[in-house]
């Protein structure tokens, strides 16, 4: 079974809240990688990890863009990362949406672990040997729910201390390169 790293997308891999203040990014022309992301992803890919993106996309439920726009943004992210991402999973549901077919809570919406479980089935992943990296406590909660190790990469420029609550994260990293070093054991982690 491949060792896998799951990444949140928005404000973990790419600029989101500073590109679209409402946090709903459905325009591939706005995709800009965060600092250290390209280097970190290539380092982890070269180390043999399967890399998967899991992302809540409530903008679909709120009628801001269709699922095809999420696919287009994901394709642009992967293009900028030189095709390093093995799979993209997203949850278009939100309980406060305006599009009836997507307006509800759903088991794939983080902090629920549905996207992780779907990917584990599709890629034959041992979730207990996996990592989840994200900028929000809900990313870490999804990982904890399936026994994965977790790294929080909060963006202090975007979040108040309350919003950047570390929750139950195993590690907190200042950026994706530091997270990659933790995963690879360079920071004393038992990876």
- Please state whether beta strands 131-134 and 149-152 pair in parallel, antiparallel, or not at all (unpaired): parallel
List the structure tokens of 92: 């278009």
Nearest to 121 by CA among 26, 29, 52: 52
Reading the chain (191 residues) residue by residue, the pLDDT tens digits are: 569 999 999 999 999 988 898 889 999 999 999 999 999 999 999 999 999 999 999 999 999 999 999 999 999 999 999 999 999 999 999 999 999 999 999 999 999 999 999 999 999 999 999 999 999 889 999 999 999 999 999 876 665 555 555 568 999 998 999 999 999 995 444 43
10 carries an active-site annotation: yes
Question: Is 64:51 a contact under the CB 8 Å cutoff?
Answer: no
Architecture field, domain 4-183: 3-Layer(aba) Sandwich (3.40)
Q: Of 10, 11, 135, 139, which residue is the catalytic one?
A: 10
Q: DSSP 3-state assignment of 64? A: coil
Residue 178 and residue 39: Cα distance in Å, rounded? 11
Element at 61 (helix H, strand E)? helix 58-61
Q: Of 8, 11, 24, 139, which residue is the catalytic one?
A: 8
Nearest to 61 by CA among 23, 21, 113: 23
Question: Is 104:93 a contact under the CB 8 Å cutoff?
Answer: yes
Nearest to 123 by CA among 191, 53, 190, 184: 53
Predicted TM-score (pTM) of the model is 0.92
Per domain, the residue ranges of the chain are: 4-183
8 carries an active-site annotation: yes
Class of residue 72 by CB neighbours under 10 A (exposed 0-12, middle 13-18, buried 19+) = middle
């Amino acid at each position: 079974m491949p060792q896998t790293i799951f990444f949140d997308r928005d404000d973990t891999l790419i600029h989101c809240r500073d590109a679209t203040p409402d946090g709903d990014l459905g325009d591939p022309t706005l995709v800009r990688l965060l600092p250290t992301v390209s280097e970190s992803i290539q380092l982890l890919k070269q180390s043999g990890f399967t890399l998967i993106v899991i992302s809540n996309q409530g903008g679909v439920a709120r009628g801001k863009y269709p699922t095809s726009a999420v696919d287009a943004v994901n394709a642009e992210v992967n293009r900028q990362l030189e095709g390093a991402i093995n799979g993209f999973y997203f949850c278009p549901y939100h309980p406060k949406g305006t599009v009836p077919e997507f307006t509800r809570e759903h088991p794939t919406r983080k902090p629920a672990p549905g996207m992780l479980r779907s990917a584990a089935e599709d890629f034959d992943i041992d979730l207990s040997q996996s990592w989840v990296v994200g900028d929000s406590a809900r990313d870490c909660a999804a990982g904890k729910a399936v026994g994965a190790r977790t790294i929080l990469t909060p963006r202090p420029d975007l979040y108040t201390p309350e919003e950047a609550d570390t929750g139950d994260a195993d590690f907190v990293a200042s950026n994706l390169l530091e997270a990659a070093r933790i995963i690879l054991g360079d920071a004393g982690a038992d990876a």
